[in-house]
Amino acid sequence: MNLFLIPSWYPSPGNPISGIFFQEQAHALADLLPDMTVVVSRWGQGENVIPARPSMRILKALRWRSRQRHDVVSGTNNFWELFNPTLEWSTYYPWSSFKLPLAANRRNFCLAEQRFGKINLIHAHVSYPGGYIASLLAEEYRIPYVLTEHMSPFPFPNFMRGGKPLPQITQAFQRAAASIAVSPSLAHRIASFGYPHPVVIPNMVDERSFSLGQPKSGKIIFFTLGGISEQKGIDHLLEAIALWNPPAGQFEFRIGGDGPKRAAYQAKANALGLSDRVRWLGPVSRTQAPTLFRDCHIFVLPSRHETFGVVYAEAIASGKPIIATRCGGPESIVNDINGRLVDVGDVGALARTMQDMAAQWHTYDPQVIRKDFEARFSRYAVVQQLNALYRQVLRGT
């Protein structure tokens, strides 16, 4: 079986984290399904967009395009990435067109069939632009496609017109042979627009990268990891720490990540008198994250919205109890075995829950938490669900 993947986001030299979960899932499919060849279509996702407002980003995108080569093939065994570069116009432009990215994906598709034989199935990640491109290629080459949605929130505000998702998003869902949501809350949200109700298959975490371990610090360590943006609720976390006001000699709050709100939230932490308890770690690489999870007692991230929340799954892969919000994705991850949920924006409840967890973290069994993770979010668990859906789709064509 030859699978052609169209990821709307994908790791690049300029942004090595963007779409990393799509890449990891593709590797897992290739590793665990030896009868499948996985071919990823790359066209410059994340580096090739001409922004709506004049800025240095336009020059950056143009310079990037001028340096790229066509028909680049890289990979080994049954995992391959094909690259044909193109530029994309921001959706804010009224003349925004899919002709260039469609042409790049068509070229990758044809190159894939030349190298590996007939493509049996397309799998797109995120309805826009990947899902829409998949719908066009599937019609052109008369093969089915599967669509997985990950947007948080769904749809992004700039992907709405007149209170409805862009027509391209509607087409992506309506023409898909099957659609997938990474959490029940996202599936419900998608169906609320009249689209076919998606199957729920969660994101996966590579269990080989995470292991159990005890913190080395004598303090109780709370760990937070994510983009430092309004979505992640870091401001609520800081307010909850200040409300609780735990002694600096016994507690430390480590916040990893970077983003547009980092400077503002650091200033907020200082204004709240938390500089002796909050430690800002800055950007955290994929190789650094497992050690940071092992070296904490509790993971906390009070997001305003999440379609899934991979960092919660990474925390339980490390056997750590978690504190999250009822914001969509976490409700399908957190249970009595592994942690607690609070309402979004309820700073008082968050403060009380952190205080309770600090006193009770040792009652959570890391082995039990890890086994629960493996049953639901490991590579094997997720790949088996995807493979079953692929086979079902192909049997129906």
CATH number at residue 174: 3.40.50.2000
| pLDDT value for 100 | 85
Pair 168, 19 in one domain: yes
The number of domains in the chain is 2
d(CA 36, CA 378): 19
Do 352 and 384 belong together in one domain?
Answer: no
Q: Report the pLDDT value the prediction gives residue 38, as an integer from 0 to 100.
A: 98
Say if residue 232 is in the same domain as residue 354: yes
* CA nearest to 69, candidates 92, 49, 44, 98: 44
State the pTM of this model. 0.92
Averaged pLDDT for residues 254-270: 97
Residue 131: what pLDDT? 97
Which of 126-130, 152-156, 198-202, 290-294 bottoms out in mean pLDDT, i.e. has the lowest?
A: 152-156
User: What pLDDT shows up at residue 325?
Assistant: 98
Does 233 lie in the same domain as 212?
Answer: yes
As a residue count, the chain comes to 397
Residues 214 and 343 in one domain: yes
Read off the pLDDT band of 18 (50, 70, 90): confident
Do 362 and 217 lie in one domain? The reply is: yes
Is 362 in the same domain as 213?
Answer: yes
pLDDT in tens, 216-242: 889 999 999 999 999 999 999 999 999
Domain region containing 194 = 2-204+378-395
Question: Are 17 and 162 in the same domain?
Answer: yes
Same domain, yes or no: 245 and 345:
yes
CB 117 within 8 A of CB 138: no
Q: In this structure, are 24 and 140 located in the same domain?
A: yes
Q: Say what percent of the chain tops pLDDT 70.
A: 95
Largest alpha-carbon pair distance within the chain? 65
Q: What share of the chain is helix, strand, coil (3-state, %, to 5)?
A: 40, 20, 40
Residues facing 148 on adjacent strands: 125, 180
For residue 52, what pLDDT is reported? 57
Distance, in Å, from the CA atom of 179 to the CA atom of 191, rounded to the nearest integer, reads 11
Contact criterion met (CB below 8 Å) for 321 and 363? no
- Residue 66 and residue 37 share a domain: yes
Q: What is the DSSP string of 215-226?
A: --SSSEEEEEES
Residue 56 clears pLDDT 80, i.e. is over it: no
Q: For residues 60 and 192, state if they share a domain.
A: yes
Neighbours of 394 (CB within 10 A): 14
Phi-psi region of 226 (alpha: psi -120 to 50; beta: other; left: phi over 0): left
Whether 95 has a pLDDT exceeding 80, the answer reads no
